Homo-oligomer: A and B are copies of this chain.
Amino acid sequence: MDRIKVGVVGATGYSGAELVRLLLSHPGVELVFATSEQQAGKSLRQALPHLGGPHDLRLQLRPLDPAALAGEAEVVFLCLPHGVSMDAVEVFLEGGCRVIDLGADFRFRDPAVYKAWYAKPHARPDLLSEAVYGLPELHRNLLSGPGAGTAPGTRARLVANPGCYPTGAILALAPLVTRGLIERNTIIVDSKSGVSGGGRAPKLDFHFPECNENIKAYRVGRHQHTPEIEQELSRLSAEPVTLTFTPHLVPMTRGILTVAYGTLARPLDTRGILACFREDYRAEPFIRVLDQEEFPETKHVAGTNRCHLGARVDTRTGRVVVVTAIDNLLKGAAGQAVQNLNVLLGLPETTGLAGLQAYWP
């Protein structure tokens, strides 16, 4: 099989660097370009000295010039700050590329939601209906199949890769919401993220002495990932879902632990809840449903594209508690982007991802 040519825009941020790493060892693709504004001119080996292995690391980083780059790759990954993707997307799409955007710009169906939570109007609302929310466990068919994109029978042109928090939260709740097992207005999502989720640009919040030996909640009740979780859960529910979301910054580099709470709509025990998850996720290569009284730890999934999931019914209060752990840079970003790529290309979904092994200890 010919390798598909792919490019990465923003290759020296954390998500971009992870994408480069994954794509270099992906048997179905060839990385033909990688961009970096600050490090253009350096080779991958110079800019990302942790990379190694049998790969050719001489590829030189380039500045972002969508018009020039569009002709070189069939699939382009965008790792750009929110709000910046909009323009680049257009040029790449017009140049015939498929685009997998790791930013937030195309995750919403409703431009008003984008405007409300990102504090600016959407520049390309026309593309929102075309974009597919790339959580393969939910939207595999939209990505690859007849329902995707502009016309029946075509594959998606524009994939909006989910946010890191939404990935952990939606996977924790989808089987329950779909079945109507939890009262839809009782959902609370309390998530804890490693610092790499804040990106690679130095800021006081992520300065080692400030966040080491510290934990804090931030943007309580107003984090921009809230509507993303709500949108996807609402699609699975008979009625709109509104929820409370609290993210935290934890003194570790990688990983998100999400704890989701909801009041059961009807009596069910832990065994029954876990059975629902097993049913829905049985064939999912990246989801592991744990046994009763087992709960996930971020360290067991760091470095992988997996999501570990545990659940328990608190019979005293009639609530279910679901816990998921993911690696925010992999299943929460670059790994999921490659999973989306595989679906787009019709490859086995684990291609280039199955070999990832956890960073343990």
Contacts and interface: CB of A to CB of B under 8 A. Distances in A.
Contacts of A202: 202-204, 206-207
B14 A359 contact: no
B314 A244 contact: yes
Contacts of A207: 200, 202, 206-208
A209 B355 contact: no
Question: For chain A, what secondary structure do more than half of its interface residues adopt (helix, strand, loop), or is it mixed?
Answer: loop
Interface stretch (A29-37, A213-221, A333-341): A213-221
Given A208-B195, A220-B295, A52 B357 contact: yes
A252 interface: yes
Interface stretch (A91-99, A123-131, A156-164, A317-325): A317-325
Given A209-B195, A213-B302, A215-B297, A220 B312 contact: yes
Contact of A323 (B220, B301, B302, B313): B220
Contact of A244 (B195, B251, B319): B319
Interface in A202-260: 202-204, 206-218, 220-221, 242-244, 246, 248, 250-255, 257, 259
A306 interface: yes
Contacts of A212: 195, 208, 212-213, 251-253, 361
Interface stretch (A168-176, A184-192, A272-280): A184-192
22 contacts: A14-B209, A21-B357, A50-B357, A51-B357, A53-B304, A53-B356, A54-B354, A54-B355, A188-B188, A192-B248, A194-B213, A195-B208, A202-B206, A212-B253, A213-B302, A214-B255, A216-B295, A244-B319, A246-B259, A248-B259, A250-B251, A253-B361
A185 to B, nearest CB: 7
A298 B248 contact: no
Range for the number of chain A residues in contact with chain B: 35 or more
A306 B310 CA distance: 35
Contacts of A302: 213
Contacts of A215: 192, 250, 252, 255, 257, 297-298
Nearest to A350: B54
A-B pairs, 6 with minimum CB distance: A50-B358, A50-B360, A214-B299, A202-B202, A209-B361, A221-B314
A200 B209 contact: yes
A52 B304 contact: yes
Contacts of A355: 25, 53-54, 355
Nearest to A251: B252
A152 interface: no
A192 B310 CA distance: 18
A322 B192 CA distance: 16
Interface in A80-124: none
Contacts of A192: 192, 215, 248, 250
Contact of A216 (B251, B297, B321): B297
Contacts of A50: 299-301, 357-358, 360
Contacts of A321: 220-221, 244, 246
B317 A243 contact: yes
Nearest to A230: B316
Contacts of A211: 208
Interface in A51-81: 51-54
A314 to B, nearest CB: 4
A317 B230 CA distance: 12
Nearest to A359: B359
